[in-house]
Amino acid sequence: MDARLTSDRVVDVAAATPFQLLYDFYRLSGYEQRRHEPGVLDFTFGDPHDPPSQAYVEILRESVVPQHELWFAYNFGDAKAIEAATESLRRHLGIPFEAADVHLTTGGFAAISTALKIVGDPGDEVVYSLPPWFLYEPIVLESGMVPVKVSIDRETLDLDLDAIAAAITPRTRVVIVNSPNNPTGRIYPPSTLERLAAILDEASERNGRRIFLISDEPYNRIVYDGARFRSPVEFYPWSFLAYSYGKTLLSPGERIGYLAVPPTMPGREAFRDAIETVQISGGWLFPNASMQYALPKLETLAFDIPLFQRKRDVMVAALREIGYRVARPEGTFYLFPESPLADDVEFTRALDQEGVLVLPGRMFETPGFFRISLTATMETIEAGLPRFAAAFSAVAAAADA
Ligand SMILES: Cc1ncc(COP(=O)(O)O)c(C=O)c1O
């Protein structure tokens, strides 16, 4: 990037560590070619690898057939789509959301950036935990805000509440929480969320300025073992909920999600206009009209929990058998095993030698781990396991030599 031509803001965003690592991996490491090479097994991103469901394709096909002359007009939010999203939110979370507080966005990205911009001013601080979703930092910087990072408790993979409390300053405006968590698969329990709410309440009182919580929960329907997901929104009234359909429907390139304000948010009516204002000024952050028409039917499609639970179980059992230390994810479709080498980038190179592509923990600012995506097919998982074993043995042999 040529800093003489581009704005300081875009230079700062591009220089953000996770963004740079992601960009380098995607664009510069040869990944785009390598993942298509015969015999290479791709466990990197949450992209779909099984063919799209016919039902999904049919719903999208129907939604582009115009039913009146305004079918493809500017669309702030189709009433039927918003009603369907609201109804499903109420059902999944047991919280009586109102349709007027559910705003359709171009996926979770736009929901997060919109929430930041309606409450945050330049210089305000945004606290989140590492390992993070790698685009928090660019989104926060692009909003003119300042990222403040703390680590999770690496043993329990739970939020480190003391670290969060210690990171709060008079400039803190937002805390982002992602549960079920990408990449750890952890669902934060009610006891953690209650204590977090108390910390945020107390700090807001002390600061004389409200700290908001953004609950980033695109995986809230992807939970295993019959677990009930409890949203952070339930515990702290000053919360925004960011959701994306890209995970549940395994279609991250078709952009649709929402930003929802819970009925417990004091003065929430004020946010209705504010959200639309940011969506418009941000460059029309509403989903395409056809995606909105498709939504009520897309809501009837469910994520294949039994299939993914099987993939998780097969993979966790086999990795542990080989000798990897890996937590069993409670939700999402990722595993976050410890790297058998302290240098996780070197270990991902050893896996690459075996034709297996994964992401190093360094890309999540958490060295010593690596991430596996279970969106790989069951065949890929079965073919990959001997290779995970071979890489493990290779580094163990090198360490012994
Ligand atoms: C934790 C988390 N938040 C937000 C997003 C953004 O979702 P989308 O691309 O569907 O907007 C992702 C996508 O990977 C994610 O993992």
Q: Spell out the residues 6+ positions from residue 160 whose beta carbon is closer than 8 angstroms to its own.
A: 129, 150, 151, 152, 153
> Relative to the CA of 245, which ligand 1 atom is closest?
10
**What radius of gyration do the chain's Cα atoms show?**
21
Q: Is the CB of 287 under 6 A from ligand 1?
A: no
pLDDT truncated to tens, each residue of the chain (401 aa)? 777 899 998 998 988 888 888 888 888 788 999 999 999 999 999 999 999 999 999 999 999 999 999 999 999 999 999 999 999 999 999 999 999 999 999 999 999 999 999 999 999 999 999 999 989 999 999 999 999 999 999 999 999 999 999 999 999 999 999 999 999 999 999 999 999 999 999 999 999 999 999 999 999 999 999 999 999 999 999 999 999 999 999 999 999 999 999 999 999 999 999 999 999 999 999 999 999 999 999 999 999 999 999 999 999 999 999 999 999 999 999 999 999 999 999 999 999 999 999 999 999 999 999 999 999 999 999 999 999 999 999 998 888 87
- In this structure, is the dihedral angle defined by the CA atoms of residues 379, 385, 386 and 387, taken in order, positive or negative? positive
* Candidate from 134, 140, 176, 216 with most ligand 1 atoms within 8 A of CB, to mutate: 216
> Relative to the CA of 246, which ligand 1 atom is closest?
10
Ligand 1 centre from 45 Cα, in Å? 11
* CA proximity to 133, closest of 79, 97, 177, 99: 177
| DSSP codes joined into one string, 330-344 | SBSSEE-PBPSSS-H
Separation CA 41–CA 248 (nearest Å):
23
Tell me the HSE value of 209 on the side-chain side, using a 13 A CA sphere.
13
> Relative to the CA of 244, which ligand 1 atom is closest?
10
Start-end of H helices in 209-288: 245-248, 269-281
Q: Please report the pLDDT score of residue 16 as a whole number.
A: 87
Q: Is the CB of 138 under 6 A from ligand 1?
A: no
Name the pairing type of β-strands 41-42 and 356-357.
Answer: parallel
Name the pairing type of β-strands 239-244 and 257-260.
Answer: antiparallel
Backbone angles phi, psi at 202, to 5 degrees: -65, -45
* CA proximity to 259, closest of 115, 97, 90, 119: 115
Separation CA 184–CA 179 (nearest Å):
9
Angle at 21 between CA 160 and CA 137, to 5 degrees: 50
Q: Please report the pLDDT score of residue 18 as a whole number.
A: 83
Separation CA 176–CA 215 (nearest Å):
6
> Relative to the CA of 45, which ligand 1 atom is closest?
14
Ligand 1 centre from 214 Cα, in Å? 13
Taking a C-beta distance cutoff of 8 angstroms, is the pair 378, 163 a contact?
Answer: no
List, in order of start, the domains of the chain with CATH numbers: 35-53+304-400 (3.90.1150.10), 67-298 (3.40.640.10)
Nearest CA to ligand 1 atom 7: 108
Q: Please, which residues bridge with residue 338 across strands?
A: 369
Nearest CA to ligand 1 atom 4: 108
Q: Which helix (H) or strand (E) holds 162?
A: helix 161-167
